[in-house]
Chains A and B, each alone.
Chain A
Amino acid sequence: MNSALVFLLTRSTWNAVLARLRRLKNPKYLLGTIVGGFYFYSVFYRQAFASRATRALGGRSSAADWNLPPELVLDLASLLLLLVVLFGAWIFPASRAALAFTEAEMAFLLPGPVSRSTLIRFKLLKSQLGLLFLALLFGFLRGRMLHDGSAAWIHVLGWWLLLSLLQMHRLGASFALTRLYERGLSTTKRRLLGLAVVAVILAGLAAWHAALPPAPELRALTTAGVLFRYLGEFVQSGPAPWLLWPFKLMLRPSFALDALGFAAAVGPALLVLAAHYFWVTRSDVAFEEASIALSQRRAALQQAVREGRKRIKPPATDAREPLFALAPMGWVPLAFVWKHFLQMGGRRALRRTAWIVLAVLGIATALTHSRYASVASPILSTIGTMGLWVSLIIFAALAAQSVQREMGAAEVIKTYPVPGFQFVLGHLLGPALHATALQWVALSLCVSDVGRILANYKMGGLAAIFVGALFLPALNLLLSLVPTAAPLLFPGWFRPGEGASFEATGLRVVSFFGQLLFVLLALFPVVLAASAVGFVAYTFTGISLAAISSISIAGIMVTVEAWVGVQLLGKIVDRYDPTEV
């Protein structure tokens, strides 16, 4: 390969490693790396070698549970691989011949004196690191699923060979299809041709189906072992062994149980891989135009991720009517709430949502007052309760994303004459109110059968739920504090769009436990105080007043905690330095 491209690859990789190592001078990154390393060790490495321990302990795999011989498992895996190749590469390929380049590669390599085949070799070589990572992941998963006693490195190398083959086959197929397309074969014709090939294969299979033993009873097929054995007989008869032969060659290395078995199996697999390599690198297809389009799509997606969006959206072109008029003077955080609701669709979206909510509540009320009430009420209550919990968890992440997205434009935002706590309050309050509205709907579903609630819990129970609902915005605010604080405190760790790394994973682990600890610490005094007040009220009055008073105390305490948290978070925003890495 072109020595300049080798230099580019090796230096880029080496520099990336050095940059990661240099970052470890910062104690934050060091901590993240240690925690992340431990996480990977405990989850991946140890599990990948668990097969040996299982063998030592006489562990049994799922395949063993079904009494499937290894050769049959290999046959079935080959059949699966054949189908993946056929459908993934030939019938439903992702796009026309295209290689994904980075923006810098597009700027320097495409106009540079580099041949197509060199570019292909460069991309194939560059992708090996990613494939190795995937192979590690799949090797680990395979180790967990099939405790067949084989070594972890065999799984990983086997998967690496297989993934390389799939990558090259997909690329070669896309080149071949592009050539056919350029010669006038449309997408529809290609799909029809592909389906015709499948039909011929199926017809062939059907032809020797008669020679097969009779299919088991439908009832027996519900047992996986019986189904797999039948399929095994199917693929071991007629021309199937010949058809699956190259696929079996590729799969044999990963099915080897020891180093000797692997050495015997790897030679033929490498030959198949080499054949693919020559096929792909000798294909002289114009992939540049499609590659540029693909690379631009990827760059736009990366940009979207950096800005906190999950997908590429076309820029908005329809002006939205705000939910309320924003007067120039007044409480500043309201400006951020106003902007939030405008971004979420404004008045039109609210009207649409209101109709949907009314319809849902109408149906719920009708159901709970119909003759199906005994069935509908518990279902609606379950849906409502689940909605309530899910919205509480999801909102915290969404609110944190909102602040993180805004801080992406810190160069403008930090010039606003707004104290940090007002900025935080404004940005969290919008999503909190949004979430509260959803939670009220969920609560309404829970209590849609008012008659049953009144019968079981009296008026006090209903009043307690109502009082609790009033404090939901504060609870939402409280739950969003840690997810919001984390990227503000450690901006270098939360750069969206950056690849996975030990330190980033470690940070997420730390962040998750931090959030858990914070919620426990924040809610402990609340529960304690609410219980004490409730007990006293119950002793002197009754259950209704006890419920109302304890929920009121809990709500007030949560509000105070949320307020203090917002003030502290505001101080973090005031000190936030967007240039910190």
Chain B
Amino acid sequence: MIEVEALTKLYGDFAAVSDLSFRVEAGEVLGLVGPNGAGKTTTLRCLSGIIPATRGTIRIAGHDMQKEPVAGKRTLAFFPDEPKLFEHLTVWQHLEFMARLYQVPDAPTRGRELLAQLEMADKAGKLPAELSRGMKQKVALACGFLHQPRVMFFDEPLTGLDPLAIRRTKELIAAQARAGVAIIISSHLLHLLEELCSHVLIVKRGMKIAHGTLAEIRAEHSVVSSNGQGQASLEDIFIRLVGEDAGT
């Protein structure tokens, strides 16, 4: 579903992403982790067609993002960390606008269902200024889900949400994966990724340093639990592989 081969993004002489290759199949959830400045957001931006890659190939649902960017974008949804809504459009008008952009014939029915599912049915006529941070996030989710994308990218999806909203967002992401959507989540919340992701990709300075299921990475790199009991967590693996300078 998502195929990335030798992805490289250069800014002058600086390589933000360097020779990155991986695949995400339908129904899989890939956790993209790395220290600050590792190239996670740049990778997601390249995958979703926001910025052009310098080298390499990206295929989304079979579409080469360099040759058929519009067809590729029609199959994906990108959720930035901060929901960006139009000031003068109500919740329902956002859905109408997205329906025309993505050419969704059953948009009215599907929009109503989505709003009900997200407990936003009574907010359809509200403007963004009247919504809380969590509600805006829900509007962004509804807009992204409307065209039933086969691929989803989440950049820090739980930033600024309260515990209840975190729980609901996690459930929604898991439900999408069960429905066969290929998902990539970039986050620093390692326990969230451990809970949600089937696979993990660890990057550092733009390069891949580990990729696979948690069990595969544990086995490959012989990482043991920090407290000596049970299996090593993603946090143990991250600290072991990325090193003490993880936060820098």
Same assembly: yes
Partner of A339, one of B45, B80, B89: B89
Residues on B with beta carbons closer than 8 Å to the beta carbon of A412: 78, 80, 84
- Are A415 and B78 in contact, with the CB atoms below 8 A? yes
Partner of A417, one of B50, B70, B107, B127: B70
A317 CA to B69 CA in the complex, in Å?
Answer: 36
Residues on A with beta carbons closer than 8 Å to the beta carbon of B245: none
- Are A316 and B88 in contact, with the CB atoms below 8 A? yes
* A338 interface hit (Cβ, 8 Å): yes
Minimal beta-carbon separation of B108 from chain A (angstroms): 7
- Are B84 and A330 in contact, with the CB atoms below 8 A? no
A71 CA to B128 CA in the complex, in Å?
Answer: 63
* B114 interface hit (Cβ, 8 Å): no
Partner of A328, one of B69, B93, B105: B105
Among B50, B74, B87, B107, find the residue whose CB has the most chain A CB atoms closer than 10 A: B50
- Among the 9-residue stretches B27-35, B94-102, B202-210, the one with 4 or more Cβ atoms under 8 Å from chain A is B94-102
* A194 interface hit (Cβ, 8 Å): no
- Are B73 and A415 in contact, with the CB atoms below 8 A? yes
A330 CA to B103 CA in the complex, in Å?
Answer: 7
A319 touching B90 in the complex, CB below 8 Å, given contacts A415-B78, A578-B50: yes
Interface size of B in residues (CB-CB distance below 8 Å): 43
* B157 interface hit (Cβ, 8 Å): no
Residues on A with beta carbons closer than 8 Å to the beta carbon of B11: 579
Chain A contacts with B in 299-343, Cβ cutoff 8 A: 315-320, 322, 326-330, 332, 334-335, 338-339, 342-343
- Are A416 and B86 in contact, with the CB atoms below 8 A? no
- Are B96 and A409 in contact, with the CB atoms below 8 A? no
A575 CA to B103 CA in the complex, in Å?
Answer: 23
- Are B90 and A328 in contact, with the CB atoms below 8 A? no
Interface size on A, as a range, is 20 to 34
- Are B80 and A417 in contact, with the CB atoms below 8 A? no
- Are A419 and B93 in contact, with the CB atoms below 8 A? no
* B130 interface hit (Cβ, 8 Å): yes
Partner of A327, one of B50, B77, B100: B100
Partner of A335, one of B51, B73, B80, B97: B97
Write the A255-272 contact mask toward B (1 if CB under 8 angstroms, else 0): 000000000000000000
- Are A317 and B97 in contact, with the CB atoms below 8 A? no
A229 CA to B11 CA in the complex, in Å?
Answer: 66
| New A-B contacts (17) at CB < 8 Å, excluding given A328-B99, A330-B100, A412-B80 | A317-B129, A326-B96, A326-B100, A328-B105, A329-B100, A329-B103, A329-B105, A332-B100, A342-B89, A412-B78, A414-B50, A415-B49, A417-B71, A417-B74, A418-B101, A574-B69, A579-B45
> Could you list which residues of chain B lie within 8 angstroms of chain A, going by C-beta atoms?
11, 42, 45, 48-52, 69-74, 76-78, 80, 84, 86-90, 93, 96-97, 99-108, 125-130
Q: Kindly list the 10 A-B residue pairs having the minimum CB-CB distance in the complex, ordered from nearest.
A: A315-B129, A328-B99, A417-B74, A417-B73, A335-B100, A328-B107, A414-B50, A415-B78, A343-B88, A319-B90
